[in-house]
Structure formats: C-alpha cells, structure tokens
A and B are shown apart, each in its own frame.
Chain A
Amino acid sequence: GENVEQHPSTLSVQEGDSAVIKCTYSDSASNYFPWYKQELGKGPQLIIDIRSNVGEKKDQRIAVTLNKTAKHFSLHITETQPEDSAVYFCAAEGYSSASKIIFGSGTRLSIRP
C-alpha cells in the first residue's frame, strides 16, 4: 500500500541553527504534500504545503522542497527558536488506500538553548 517515510524520528538542534526533516513517498500520483506541527497535548496544525507544480515554497523561516522524480520532499526551518520545539508530520496525498492523506510517523524536534 501507499507509504510515507519520515526521518529522523528525533532531532535536536542548537537555537539559531537550521533543522531539516526529510520524507519519501511511494505513490507517484501524489500531487499535494502538507506539513503539520503538533505541540504537546494539541492537535496538529498545518504550517506549510506544496503542490507538485512547484519545486520549492517558502514562508518566513520555513521552506519546503519537492523532488517528484525521486519522490522526496523536505522541511527546512532556519534560525530555529524555542517555540519551534514540537512534533512535525509530513504527509502526501493518497490514492489507492482509504486514507485521503497519508501521514509520516513524525519527527520530534527539540531546540537547545
């Protein structure tokens, strides 16, 4: 079935440094790739998404890149701040399974002061 793999599962970076989270997907028909941020005890919240007609999208300190040929997409957070500490999920549009959106397993990002 369709699958989204996410790495790393945990990531610790110094405040002010950059963080990168990588995902791969299996369904070449996927055209929509959202990223969600989940703070402790809360529901996930969309932070950025990208569609397959572009290779990169930026929103302030957050950027996402997409390589459709390799079926890879990545989240980049620059100048990390303490409030960036959270669990981040990548996701991809699903077709062959019942799920509309297939989620990765999540990355717990910790920002060290």
Chain B
Amino acid sequence: DGGITQSPKYLFRKEGQNVTLSCEQNLNHDAMYWYRQDPGQGLRLIYYSQIVNDFQKGDIAEGYSVSREKKESFPLTVTSAQKNPTAFYLCASSGQGVQETQYFGPGTRLLVL
C-alpha cells in the first residue's frame, strides 16, 4: 500500500522536554511538509523540504526543528522553546512543484502534561 504514515497517533510532552514526531512516505515524493492545525484555524506551514538534505522554514518554524536524511523520512522535533505545542500535527508529501497534490498523513495529536 502506497501512502504516508505518522506516528505516534497521540503524544504527551512534559515541561522542558523535546519530542519527535515521525513521518514516513513510500510515494517516492521529493517534497515533504509539516503543518500545524489548531481548532478553527487553517493549516499553517512549519517546515518543508524539497529534496534530501535540504529544508526551509515555513511561517511558524520557531520552536521546531526537522531533518531530511532520507527521501522517505521527515521527522519533526518539537523543542522546549515551543511554548504552546498543543495541536494536531500533519505531515504531507508531494511531487516537485506547487501545483502537485499534497498527500497528508493521519496526523499526530500532541498534548502537554
């Protein structure tokens, strides 16, 4: 089955802790994205990567970090610097180009203890 997977489905973060969200795709897509979704708001771009070993900040990158060591993987770390991390995090992938369809994973809900 081709697709994009995210894990875990739910994640709990303690004060001062860094947590990492996993995103894997087997669609052979070059581009991958991380979005944050808050209630009543649209999706906001955190980071994106158009090619392995390269990534760019989105509109709300502060307090987050990413890596792209493999084409199929784009993990997101929510650092302790992110003061309001509670949200639904969505990973997506697409072919190269803005007009390529973005395929989304099922999401990870991050909650703060």
Contacts and interface: CB of A to CB of B under 8 A. Distances in A.
A105 B41 contact: yes
B42 A106 contact: yes
Interface of B: 4, 6, 33, 40-45, 48, 56-59, 90, 92, 98-99, 101-107
27 contacts: A9-B40, A32-B98, A42-B107, A43-B4, A43-B6, A43-B104, A43-B107, A44-B90, A44-B104, A45-B104, A46-B101, A46-B102, A46-B103, A89-B42, A94-B98, A97-B59, A98-B56, A99-B44, A99-B58, A101-B45, A101-B102, A102-B42, A103-B43, A103-B44, A104-B42, A105-B42, A106-B42
**Interface size of A as a range:** 20 to 34
Interface of A: 4, 6, 9, 31-32, 34, 36, 41-46, 49, 51, 89, 91, 93-94, 97-106
A103 B105 CA distance: 17
Contacts of A105: 40-42
Contact of B45 (A4, A41, A42, A99): A99
Given A43-B107, A51-B99, A98-B45, 10 more contacts: A34-B101, A43-B6, A46-B101, A46-B103, A89-B42, A94-B98, A98-B58, A99-B58, A103-B44, A105-B40
